[in-house]
A and B are shown apart, each in its own frame.
Chain A
């Protein structure tokens, strides 16, 4: 019986990684589920769900030649597949400011206390080396209602962090 694995790959970025990796997985009989790839700094990172009719060891053996060739570090976890259970986002939060240690912890602590379940988080360091700025976008579900998130955002603002809240009412047509 096929099992689901979370395949994590990290390494120096170069063109063609996704194509090579997914071709090997396809040839080896994998069915891919959801995936998230992003370049962080100069690093290639991807997490992808793969359904495979074999053990983690067999999947590692299948992938090792291509990951070695591309200089990628491979990590595998056995997971529950459980597709088709998306939670709908209802808030989107943008945070930016002069980069300093602790911004993510400060912001997410307030939001977690207000009941935010983070569904997606992406952050970048922009600006210049002399004056770096931190930009973070969070999409989430306000499990205890949007009003609490609005209050949390006001608390974050008072701490001197620029933060914007966009309440998202998904239009279903």
Chain B
């Protein structure tokens, strides 16, 4: 089965918001199999969202379990994901299969609660932290037509210089 073609910026599709899914059928599950294969074929890819392959539906996959010392829920299929709670902030380095040869610093919530459906229509709620929470926020952004480029911060944000008060 061939891999799906990844859209790369400045493809306008990457700035487009995706629509909510209401059907959970074999066609969807077949697409998810292909999407996951495409994610795993990418170097170091731990997440992918349907709009990255030109399908503008709220479908994402995240699996950070291959990373050492990272807490995770394993393979997560996230359909119509909704982040319902954010806590803390942390700066981390991100890249994207849709933005080759560039990485940048992004502030994300440290801990999130996300509700989503799986490929069979089952409802789930996950508490995620750190690297996994970052990956989910990155993929949910894709579903809203946002790239990590929209959220870049200077690495100087790690170390704030104090203002002088007279």
Interface residues, chain A, CB within 8 Å of chain B? 84-86, 88-89, 92, 94, 120, 122, 124, 126, 135, 137, 139, 166, 168-173
Determine if A139 and B103 form an interchain contact, defined as CB atoms under 8 angstroms apart: no
For residue A88, which residue of chain B has the nearest CB?
Answer: B103
Q: Does B166 contact A (CB under 8 A)?
A: no
Of A88, A120, A168, A172, the most chain B CB neighbours within 10 A belong to A172
Determine if A137 and B158 form an interchain contact, defined as CB atoms under 8 angstroms apart: yes
Chain B residues touching A, range: 20 to 34
B37: which A residues are within 8 A, CB to CB? none
Q: Does B92 contact A (CB under 8 A)?
A: yes
Determine if B45 and A173 form an interchain contact, defined as CB atoms under 8 angstroms apart: yes
B102: which A residues are within 8 A, CB to CB? 86
Given contacts A137-B155, A137-B158, contact A173 B48 (CB under 8 A): yes
Q: Does B74 contact A (CB under 8 A)?
A: no
B67: which A residues are within 8 A, CB to CB? 169
Alpha-carbon distance between A85 and B100 when the two chains are bound, in angstroms: 10
Q: Does B95 contact A (CB under 8 A)?
A: yes
A92: which B residues are within 8 A, CB to CB? 155, 158
Determine if A172 and B155 form an interchain contact, defined as CB atoms under 8 angstroms apart: no
B64: which A residues are within 8 A, CB to CB? 171
Q: Distance (Å) between the CB of A40 and the closest chain B CB?
A: 15
Given contacts A86-B101, A86-B102, A88-B103, contact A170 B155 (CB under 8 A): no
Question: Out of A85, A89, A173, which one reaches B135, CB within 8 Å?
Answer: A173
Given contacts A84-B101, A86-B102, A88-B103, contact A172 B96 (CB under 8 A): yes
For residue B102, which residue of chain A has the nearest CB?
Answer: A86
Q: Does B139 contact A (CB under 8 A)?
A: yes
Q: Distance (Å) between the CB of A28 and the closest chain B CB?
A: 26
Alpha-carbon distance between A125 and B139 when the two chains are bound, in angstroms: 39
A173: which B residues are within 8 A, CB to CB? 45-49, 62, 94-97, 135, 138-139, 142, 148
